[in-house]
Amino acid sequence: MGGEKRDLLWSNHRRGEHEMVSKTKEKLAEAFKTVVCKKSFTKTTIADITKECGMTRENFYYHFRDKYDILGWVCRHQLVANIPEKYDKKYVEDLIIYLVRKINEDYKFYRTVVRDVGVEQVRKEVLPYIRKLIYRLIDETIDENVWRMREEKENFAVDFFSDAFITFLTEYMLENEKMDEKLMVMNFHFLFTQFF
């Protein structure tokens, strides 16, 4: 078999393997979210997750270390995975609205997680992604003549707005059974039009 053909076959094999792993992780993640909504994060066991999706514990441990690992995966791959490298001010507003809508789709799950694991654990999981988003917002959309930030001021602004965003959303989830998506979208639109 020629080198090019062998490389193509290997590449196709690896792609198929990756898709299968991704589908398995998605299936485990959906089962995890279902069980957490039924029982709570604290009471959810690996056996509960695997029973819910008809897989073995070995399947779970092949993909994840524990339920904190799968929680991190859900946050990274289902909540904040679609953040592109470049965007403009309008797109950032759309992206924040997208995050609000994604949270609202699985609101009971995210609310249960915030309540069970605490704001600090949630902050630990999502802060790097939110910081990246806020940094890009400040770096790429705010008029340099207005801000003229030195690095420490820029870092302060990124830390402040990132923490404010996470704190607001987690506190909102702790206090509200349901999310008023329209109100959230309107409030974030107000922030973007008035401050950025």
Q: What are the boundaries of each domain within the chain?
A: 3-65, 80-195
Which residue, 195, 92, 76, is CA-closest to 147? 195
- 3-65 CATH, one of 1.20.120, 3.40.50, 1.10.287, 1.10.10: 1.10.10
> What is the overall mean pLDDT for the chain?
82
Pick from 169, 175, 171, 174: which is nearest to 187 by CA? Answer: 169
Residue reference for tokens 């949630």: 122
**Residue 138: Cβ within 10 Å count:** 19
Categorize the per-residue pLDDT at 43 as very low, low, confident or very high, splitting at 50, 70 and 90: very high
Name the pLDDT band for 14 (thresholds 50, 70, 90).
Answer: very low
Tokens of 8: 């193509």
pLDDT at position 11: 46
Segment 48-71, tens digit of pLDDT: 999 999 999 999 999 999 999 999
- pLDDT beyond 50 at 77: yes
139-142 own/partner pairs: CB under 8 Å, 24+ apart: 140/86, 140/87, 140/88, 141/88, 141/89, 141/92, 141/196, 142/196
Specify the pLDDT at position 179.
Answer: 87
pLDDT tens string 124-183: 888 888 888 788 777 766 666 555 656 677 788 889 988 998 999 999 999 998 888 888
Query: DSSP of 172-191, one letter per residue?
Result: HHHH-SS--HHHHHHHHHHH
